[in-house]
Chain A
Amino acid sequence: MSGPRTLIPRRATPAAEPLAPADVSALIDDRPLDGAFRVHRAAFSDPRVFELEMKYIFESSWVFLGLASQLPKPHDYLTTTIGRQPVAVMRDGEGRLNAFLNSCRHKGAIICPLMSGNRKLHVCSYHGWSYDSAGRNRAIKGRAEGAYGQAFETESHDLAALPRFGQYRGLLFGSLSADVPSLEDYLGDARKLIDLAVDQSEEGLELVPGYVTFTFNGNWKLQLENCSDAYHFTSTHPSYLRVLDRRVASQGSGGAIRSVWDNDRPFESGAKGVTNGTFSFANGHVLNWSISQPSDAHPLFERIEELTRRFGETRRNWMFGTRNLTLFPNVQLAENASSQLRIIRPLAPDKTEMLTYCMAPIGESAEARRRRIRQYEDFFNPSGMATPDDAVLYEDCQAGHRTPIAEWLQGYSRGAGAASAAANPLTEGLGIAPQSSVLGGPDLCDESVFHTYYRSWRDRLVRGIERSNQGAPR
């Protein structure tokens, strides 16, 4: 068995020296022929790695920005970030969506200081330059008297539009580089999994009003992995699961909300046949899933007949199942105990911000919406009974990543022997062709699903450094 090619020399490379492509490749011990896949702890902690991630993953390709349904009216806007860059998405007077750098052309100040709002005209608070909701410069204060030179008069003063901006079924994405595949190609068959969320209502998907933001002192990839990690569930969340048991035992007498897992728990031992698995796609997108009988405690249950009629039993069951979808690198649609849209924002190698929303089909009944929100708060909030245990463990991992001893992490091995590129009845039923599928029971808990994260990660960092070394425009 051949060993990894090189280890990063921890003392020989001064912090100021940038990483070469070989240094990045050396962080992933990826030897398919040996069935080996390991990740070096430095991938989570080295500030030089973080800098490369910002440049070549976040600030060079498609990043999720928000939902079109957050901007229903002309002149609505929302603000977000791509990597470290401030971005504003605006709906103009004609109803078209555009995305811009949220930065005045004059001195660079943020134009839209708030999270969201509705404005026909965005006036910079510093020197009063103004822009309309289509990003066009409308006025430069004192322009006539300003004795500007010829060069200034020939320049555009409009807000800088993102080089690429697009949407798939109301999910908005932008890229700071024009040199990217089309959004359709980038998402690939992960689009079919977005459909499973959007199609739950003919009117589409919306965010329940109210957001929750929290931070954790850990690397952003810990969040990326955890969403796709079935292995942690029963060992990280026993307190939540035992509370569900307590509620079932009390038969709802105390006013507790029923869980979708009251009757059937696809993550606990005993299930027969294929109940759980993963799909991995090109460009780092993944789905971790489990299927079970539709629960009458699921907020969708009121629509079960309609959904069966429209999509057939197979796709309907997927809608009721657990689906944790990551669209690399920064958004996760987690449908399990409830339904969450989470946006991952890396702040530092060891600090990450999570912006989280309850997502829901538009037009569901008041009772279904109430139940969805209650199930959400209990599980997903940093004030709830599950996410806190995840976030604290990310921090424990980050603390463990400091050690240079036993530097290869072994958490990428389960399921490798079950991964297959071949089609199977489940992929055929969904009409998808993932790069890799793992199908199994509740105890298989595939980890090979993470491989596509790190292969995409490595390939993009390596390509970014190489092109930068060749002087190519990013």
Chain B
Amino acid sequence: MSGLTHQDAERLLYLEAHLLDERRWDEWLDLYTEDAVFWTPAWRNEDEPTASPDTELSLIYYEGRSNLADRVWRLRSGLSVASTPIQRTAHAVSNVLLEAATDQAAKVKSSWATHVFNPRRKAQHVFFGRYEHDLRREEDRWRVARKKILLLNDYIPTVVDFYML
């Protein structure tokens, strides 16, 4: 089997963006491996994001897809006022770079911006930053084994949820 191509990498990242924007949560979860790491660092200071999740604070750090399933459950539960209504998002992913690829694994870097509209407040915001996707081949498909989301504008207006990143 051959490795992941640049076009495969782009397709996977674009698919993830569409699944989030279209709220196809189960298909989104299915993009991730069961042991997936989902990580949004915090910042130590003006220049350095945190780098060591076990000794430094992150905005979000999960090991295991079930944690993401919990977040999806919360979103759909109707029990979270911050998620009612779910805010409208448009993810734009660009500058995709395939950094390394073997038959079984690949590393992809990209830039992202998510336009978020809160219909309840009539307010909008853009979150932006950089992604690193570590992809792993599982049987005949590629899944996300680790996603690092660097949020560059971390002065957060009230709420940021996983689906806005």
Report A's interface with B, CB cutoff 8 A.
114-117, 208-217, 236, 238-240, 242-243, 246-247, 250, 253-256, 357-358, 366, 369-370, 373-374, 376-377, 381-385, 388-389, 391-393, 395-396
In Å, the complex CA distance between A392 and B120 comes to: 11
Min CB gap A429→B, angstroms: 33
Most A CB within 10 A of own CB, among B35, B57, B69: B57
Q: Which of B54, B70, B82, B83 contacts A370 (CB 8 A)?
A: B54
By beta carbon, the residue of chain B nearest A215 is B157
Q: How does the 8 Å CB contact mask read for B125-146 relative to A, with 1 for contact and 0 for none?
A: 0000000000000000000000
Question: A residues within 8 A CB of B24?
Answer: none
Complex contact A393–B81 (CB within 8 A)? yes
Question: A residues within 8 A CB of B58?
Answer: 210, 373, 377
Question: B residues within 8 A CB of A208?
Answer: 55-57
In Å, the complex CA distance between A217 and B157 comes to: 8
Residue pairs across A and B with Cβ atoms less than 8 A apart, 22 shown, are A117-B45, A209-B44, A209-B57, A210-B42, A210-B44, A212-B57, A239-B77, A242-B77, A243-B74, A254-B66, A255-B63, A255-B64, A256-B64, A358-B57, A369-B55, A373-B54, A377-B58, A382-B156, A382-B160, A388-B158, A392-B81, A395-B121
Q: Do A209 and B60 form a contact, CB below 8 Å, given A114-B45, A395-B121?
A: no
Q: How does the 8 Å CB contact mask read for B39-73 relative to A, with 1 for contact and 0 for none?
A: 01111111000100111111111111111011101
Apart from A246-B73, A256-B64, what 20 extra A-B contacts exist at CB < 8 Å? Answer: A115-B46, A209-B57, A210-B41, A210-B44, A210-B57, A212-B156, A215-B155, A215-B156, A239-B79, A255-B62, A255-B64, A376-B57, A377-B61, A381-B60, A383-B40, A383-B161, A383-B165, A385-B74, A392-B158, A395-B121
- Closest 6 A/B residue pairs (Cβ): A254-B66, A255-B64, A210-B57, A388-B82, A210-B42, A239-B80
In Å, the complex CA distance between A40 and B42 comes to: 38
- Asked whether any CB of chain A lies closer than 8 Å to the CB of B162, the reply is yes
Complex contact A209–B50 (CB within 8 A)? yes
Complex contact A115–B63 (CB within 8 A)? no
Question: B residues within 8 A CB of A391?
Answer: 82, 158-159
By beta carbon, the residue of chain B nearest A243 is B70
Question: A residues within 8 A CB of B26?
Answer: none
Report B's interface with A, CB cutoff 8 A.
35, 40-46, 50, 53-67, 69-71, 73-74, 77, 79-83, 121, 154-162, 165
Min CB gap A102→B, angstroms: 15
Complex contact B156–A213 (CB within 8 A)? yes
Complex contact A236–B81 (CB within 8 A)? yes
Min CB gap B21→A, angstroms: 19
Complex contact A366–B55 (CB within 8 A)? yes
In Å, the complex CA distance between A114 and B43 comes to: 13
In Å, the complex CA distance between A116 and B64 comes to: 35
By beta carbon, the residue of chain B nearest A357 is B57
Min CB gap A323→B, angstroms: 21
Complex contact B81–A209 (CB within 8 A)? no
Q: Do A250 and B42 form a contact, CB below 8 Å, given A213-B155, A377-B58, A395-B158?
A: no
Complex contact A115–B45 (CB within 8 A)? yes
In the complex, number of A-B residue pairs with CB atoms less than 8 Å apart: 145
Q: Do A388 and B54 form a contact, CB below 8 Å, given A239-B80, A255-B63?
A: no
Min CB gap B58→A, angstroms: 6
In Å, the complex CA distance between A332 and B54 comes to: 24
Complex contact B155–A214 (CB within 8 A)? yes
Question: B residues within 8 A CB of A357?
Answer: 57
By beta carbon, the residue of chain A nearest B46 is A114
Question: B residues within 8 A CB of A217?
Answer: 121, 158
Min CB gap A75→B, angstroms: 16
In Å, the complex CA distance between A10 and B162 comes to: 43
In Å, the complex CA distance between A246 and B156 comes to: 28
Q: Which of B46, B57, B64, B82 contacts A377 (CB 8 A)?
A: B57
Complex contact B74–A239 (CB within 8 A)? yes
Question: B residues within 8 A CB of A392?
Answer: 81-82, 158-159
In Å, the complex CA distance between A253 and B54 comes to: 20
In Å, the complex CA distance between A236 and B82 comes to: 10
Min CB gap B82→A, angstroms: 4
In Å, the complex CA distance between A253 and B67 comes to: 11
Min CB gap B64→A, angstroms: 3
Min CB gap A442→B, angstroms: 19
Question: A residues within 8 A CB of B55?
Answer: 208-209, 366, 369-370, 373
Complex contact A256–B82 (CB within 8 A)? no
Complex contact A388–B80 (CB within 8 A)? yes
Complex contact B80–A385 (CB within 8 A)? yes
In Å, the complex CA distance between A242 and B59 comes to: 21
Min CB gap B95→A, angstroms: 24
In Å, the complex CA distance between A214 and B42 comes to: 12
In Å, the complex CA distance between A217 and B120 comes to: 13
By beta carbon, the residue of chain A nearest B36 is A255
Q: Which of A114, A116, A212, A389 contacts B82 (CB 8 A)?
A: A389
In Å, the complex CA distance between A217 and B156 comes to: 12
Question: B residues within 8 A CB of A382?
Answer: 59, 156, 158-160
Question: A residues within 8 A CB of B57?
Answer: 208-212, 357-358, 373, 376-377
By beta carbon, the residue of chain A nearest B52 is A209
Q: Do A256 and B160 form a contact, CB below 8 Å, given A209-B55, A238-B79, A373-B57?
A: no
Min CB gap A346→B, angstroms: 16
Min CB gap A358→B, angstroms: 5
Complex contact A253–B66 (CB within 8 A)? yes
Min CB gap A205→B, angstroms: 15
Most B CB within 10 A of own CB, among A215, A377, A384: A377
Complex contact B160–A247 (CB within 8 A)? no
Min CB gap B52→A, angstroms: 8
Min CB gap B99→A, angstroms: 26
By beta carbon, the residue of chain B nearest A236 is B81
